[in-house]
Amino acid sequence: MASPRNIFVLTGAGVSAESGLGTFRDRGGMWSRFDPMTLATPEAFARDPALVHEFYNLRRSGVIAAAPNPAHTALAALETHLRDRGGALFLCTQNVDDLHTRAGNRAVMHMHGELLKARCLACETVHPWRDDLFVGTPCPACNRAGSLRPDIVWFGEMPKHLEAIDAALRTADVFVAVGTSGAVYPAAGYVAQARTLGIRTWELNLEPSDNARLFDAARYGPASVVVPEFIT
C-alpha cells in the first residue's frame, strides 16, 4: 500500500469472528438461528422485552469474555502509525462489541451502538452497562423501572454518528471495508459513496461480499491474517 494520510475503515462482524463472537449472515450465523424481526427491532422490544433482554444478556456476556484478535490489534497500530505521520484513521464499526477500543483504538464511531451501554427510554440517559438487564431494572438516573434498553441500533432505527461518518469519508484517501457482508444500509452504501468521491476502495473479507464488484482491490482470507498483512 502507498502512504495515504487519511484512511476510512468500516468494520463488520467478520473482524470479531476470530474473537469468538458470532457473525449474522454466514452459515450458522445468528440470523440463520434467530429471526431478527423478533429480536432486533423496536417493535420486538415493545412486544416482548424479556425475550429481547435475554438475547442481549447472552450477547453481552459473550463480549465481556472475548478478547481482541490480531485484526483489532493491527487496526490500533494503524491508528498510531497514521497519527504519528500527521494523518488519521477514521474507524467506523457496525459492531456493538468494544474490541476495537480494548485493542487500543482511541476514536471509534459505533454506528450501530454499543452493547456495553444501556439507554433509558424515559430520561434518555446513556449508562455504561456490564450486567444483565431485566424488564424491571431501574434506571440509575431517574429510577424508573422498565425503561432501560440496550443502546444499540435496531432495524428501522437511525444509525449513530452519520454526520461525522459523512465528514470523515469526504476527507479520506482510502476506504477499506473489513469483514462485512454489505447487506445492511446505510453502511453497505459507503463503498459506492467513496467511489463517487474518487477514493480508492479495498475489501478485506473471508470471501467476496455482496458489494465485491464495487471495490478497486481486495484480499480474501481470515481477518486475523489479511488485516495485519494489508497494514504492513
CB of 159 closer than 8 Å to CB of 111: yes
Report the residue from 7, 10, 63, 96 that binds ligand BJW according to the rule CB under 6 A.
96
Strands 108-110 and 88-93: parallel
In angstroms, the Cα distances linking 168 to 7, 102, 109, 173, 212 are 9, 22, 10, 10, 22
Nearest CB to ligand BJW, comparing residues 125 and 224: 224
Give the list of residues 6+ apart from residue 228 with CB closer than 8 angstroms, or none: 70, 71, 73, 74
By CB under 6 A, the count of residues binding ligand BJW is: 35
Q: Is 27 annotated as a binding residue?
A: yes
Find the catalytic residue in 53, 112, 127, 161: 112
Residue 112 falls in the annotated catalytic set: yes
Interatomic CA distance for residues 77 and 131, integer angstroms: 31
Nearest CB to ligand BJW, comparing residues 29 and 87: 29
Site for ligand BJW in 163-222 (CB under 6 A): 179-181, 183-186, 205-207, 209, 222
Report the residue from 40, 52, 74, 172 that binds ligand BJW according to the rule CB under 6 A.
40
In angstroms, the Cα distances linking 213 to 90, 166, 194 are 23, 22, 14
Strands 126-128 and 148-152: unpaired
CB of 71 to ligand BJW, least distance (A): 7
Does residue 20 touch ligand BJW according to CB under 6 A? no
Nearest CB to ligand BJW, comparing residues 43 and 143: 43
Interatomic CA distance for residues 137 and 149, integer angstroms: 10
Site for ligand BJW in 47-76 (CB under 6 A): none
Report the residue from 112, 190, 201, 214 that binds ligand BJW according to the rule CB under 6 A.
112
Q: Residue type at 147?
A: S
Does residue 25 touch ligand BJW according to CB under 6 A? yes
| Residue 52 cell numbers, joined | 429481547
Report the residue from 155, 170, 219, 232 that binds ligand BJW according to the rule CB under 6 A.
155
Length of the chain counted residue by residue: 232
Which residue ranges make up the annotated binding site for NAD(+)?
12-31, 94-97, 179-181, 205-207, 223
Name the site residues for ligand BJW (rule: CB under 6 A).
12-14, 17-18, 23-26, 29, 40, 94, 96, 112, 152-159, 179-181, 183-186, 205-207, 209, 222-223
